[in-house]
Amino acid sequence: MTSSDPTPATIVIRQLATGPMPPTAANPSGPNSLHTRVADVVRQMGTPPWSKRIIADERQLVTLIASPPGGGNRPHWHREFDEWWVVLGGQLEWELTGGVVVRATKDDIVWVPRGTVHHIRNIGDDLSLRLAVAMPPAMHYFSPCEQCGYTDTGPTEWCA
Ligand SMILES: [Zn+2]
């Protein structure tokens, strides 16, 4: 691990609802649209790879991610949240710390605990789509993939 700050993470919710209200905070262009049609996002975003933030608030960051065949993420781990995904299309593989491999397809849900490096790749022949659920500020800590050896010279920490 590259960082060892033991300070506990906290969340402050500054805007509290005081009672029933219409969804005035909804943003029609996203994030936080009342209704997102995945097919519309795919059409608007065009050629992968791409990612589109769908929902963002104090506790959650939900992102639709498209990868072309062979594409994927930079292997990384998180300090303060467990991350999970819903696969909406294609065939994806998670290479995890400790030699664990998870392969998932449409309608599958994958969960990875904090501290586990996850290297996600599209192992199929079609576009892959996954909905990623993370927690702000969603700090990412790069770590080479112990399974496939993927590494690069990019940033060691980044915020998504
Ligand atoms: Zn992650």
- Whole-structure pTM over 0.85, yes or no? yes
Expressed in angstroms and rounded, the spacing between residue 22 Cα and the centre of ligand 1 is 33
How does pLDDT run across 83-102, given as a tens digit for each residue? Answer: 999 999 999 999 999 999 99
Expressed in angstroms and rounded, the spacing between residue 86 Cα and the centre of ligand 1 is 13
pLDDT of residue 89: 98
pLDDT of residue 160: 84
Which residues of the chain fall below pLDDT 50?
A: 1
pLDDT of residue 157: 96
Output the DSSP codes for the chain. Answer: ------PPP---------S----TT--TTSSS-S---HHHHHHHH-SSSEEEEEEESSS-EEEEEEE-TT-B---EE-SS--EEEEEEESEEEEEETTTEEEEEETT-EEEE-TT--EEEEE-SSS-EEEEEEE-TT-EEEE---TTT----SS-SEEE-
